[in-house]
């Protein structure tokens, strides 16, 4: 059953909210000890919420659009009375004192927040292996990483522990694990979703976004969490209308034009390329026009992204000094977090900021300009989400090898454009993602394409 149908079934009381919750809790109890995707669960509060929703429905009272659906939220997004740790010892005892804007909007629509999900420490990683609370297993490819940094949020969907989940995406942290776990993950246009209540990794790049099994679920969650927020200065006053995407149909794609960027395929594993090209051939057969494009700045993207990331992350972590809450971050954090703090501190020094950071900002402007130019003549750009298959858990990678996972995803963050990943196929049982990137505020068009590709299967 797709999520839109499930949502309607709960509202019509064909399935009760409590029955839906109990199914999620049963799956969690069976699998979470091995997968380690949820960090904290509040079962009693969830049951009370489900009973209240069922009571409202029984009385004929109006309920929200997410009524009775079960939700997991990445542990760097504030939820009142939950431990908001960002998977770090730094904040292992920090209890959220308020709801992030997205959390409040989810609660207002009668969803059931089950718990917080695992992640790379402070979102600094691409594998969910750097969590202080242990790595997360990939339910779709056991023994391999689920991707990161929102690996727990992807895994809870892949393992059917809940209906929807939230992650954050700074350079691919939603799309990367969506690809590795074989689910849909979506990074909205910068400013479409409020970041109020998010523990930032890099504020000028980061967006909160959803995971789901189908495009309808993505649309439903975005319709809930998107929109202007008086408390968050980067939010946009005009955002796409996701409520209209209710039917999946390959008819939606007919007449669309998509671009295929040669360089995105050149840097990718041949096995991934074969799978993605197969899906693009299916798009052609369903009436989509495919045009070849070229992007000459792919080698510039990773260094540009990481230089900006380092500086903004260093700035964001200065509040973790051990005085107001938690421990001093440098005293307890993991190797990757410390690496980014030290590098960011170095680059932020007056004598180096012009040499590194300001040049990175100039490069970012160039990348945004070139991607905007590529998108002018097409509805979207399609290609691989990540250039290589997920490595085995515990396998040793140097930092540059780990960063290489991000080469195709950082572009959307640097340009501020929407991008989503959906399953394209498998290589020896390992999921491979298809990435769709669009013009700013064309988020709904990307979801329509995803819906059409689902329908065309």
Residues annotated as catalytic (active site), given as ranges:
74, 149, 173
Which has the closest alpha carbon to 127: 150, 106, 111? 150
Q: What is the CA radius of gyration of the chain?
A: 21
> Do residues 437 and 417 lie in contact, with contact meaning Cβ atoms separated by under 8 Å?
yes
In the numeric block, the tokens 């007919």 are attached to 254
> Do residues 163 and 70 lie in contact, with contact meaning Cβ atoms separated by under 8 Å?
yes
In terms of Cβ atoms closer than 10 Å to its own Cβ (0-12, 13-18, 19+), residue 396 is exposed
* Chain center to CA of 204: 16
Crossing angle of helices 357-376 and 298-316, in 10° steps, is: 130
110-122 CB burial, b ≥16 within 10 A, e <16:
bbbbbbbbbbbbb
217-240 CB burial, b ≥16 within 10 A, e <16:
bbbbbbbbbbbebeebebbbeebb
């Amino acid at each position: 059953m797709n999520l839109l149908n499930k949502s309607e079934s709960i509202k019509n009381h064909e399935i009760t909210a409590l029955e839906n919750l109990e199914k999620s809790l049963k799956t969690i109890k069976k699998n979470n000890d091995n997968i380690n995707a949820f960090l904290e669960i509040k079962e009693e509060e969830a049951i009370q919420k489900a009973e209240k929703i069922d009571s409202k429905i029984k009385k004929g009272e109006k309920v929200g659009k997410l009524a009775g659906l079960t939700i997991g939220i990445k542990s760097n997004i504030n939820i009142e009375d939950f431990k908001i740790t960002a998977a770090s010892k730094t904040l292992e005892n920090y209890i959220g004192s308020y709801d992030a804007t997205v959390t409040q909007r989810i609660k207002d629509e009668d969803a059931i927040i089950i718990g917080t999900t695992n992640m790379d420490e402070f979102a600094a990683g691409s594998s969910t292996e750097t969590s202080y609370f242990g790595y997360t297993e990939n339910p779709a490819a056991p023994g391999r990483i689920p991707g990161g940094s929102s690996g727990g949020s992807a895994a809870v969907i892949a393992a059917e522990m809940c209906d929807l989940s939230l992650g954050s995406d700074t350079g691919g942290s939603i799309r990367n694990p969506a690809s590795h776990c074989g689910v849909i993950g979506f990074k909205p246009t910068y400013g479409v979703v409020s970041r109020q209540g998010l523990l930032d990794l890099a504020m000028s790049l980061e967006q909160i976004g959803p995971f789901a099994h189908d495009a309808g679920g993505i649309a439903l969650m975005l319709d809930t969490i998107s929109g202007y927020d008086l408390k968050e200065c980067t939010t946009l006053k005009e955002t796409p209308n996701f409520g209209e995407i209710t039917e999946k149909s390959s008819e939606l794609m007919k007449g669309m034009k998509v671009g295929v960027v040669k360089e995105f395929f050149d840097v990718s594993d041949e096995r991934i390329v074969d799978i993605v090209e197969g899906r693009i051939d299916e798009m052609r057969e369903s009436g989509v026009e495919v045009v070849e494009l070229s992007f000459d700045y792919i080698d510039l993207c990773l260094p540009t992204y990481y230089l900006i990331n380092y500086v903004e992350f260093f700035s964001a972590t200065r509040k973790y000094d051990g005085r107001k809450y938690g421990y001093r971050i440098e005293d307890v954090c993991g190797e990757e977090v410390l690496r980014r703090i030290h590098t960011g501190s170095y680059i932020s020094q007056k004598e180096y900021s012009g040499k590194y950071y300001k040049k990175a900002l100039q490069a970012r402007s160039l990348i945004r300009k070139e991607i905007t130019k590529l998108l002018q003549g097409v509805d979207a750009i399609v290609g691989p989400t990540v250039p290589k298959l997920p490595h085995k858990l515990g396998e040793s990678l140097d930092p540059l090898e780990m960063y290489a996972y991000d080469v195709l995803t950082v572009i959307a963050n640097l340009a501020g454009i929407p991008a989503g990943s959906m399953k394209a196929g498998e290589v020896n049982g390992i999921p491979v993602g298809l990435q769709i990137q669009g013009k700013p505020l064309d988020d709904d068009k990307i979801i329509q394409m995803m819906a059409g590709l689902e329908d065309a299967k």
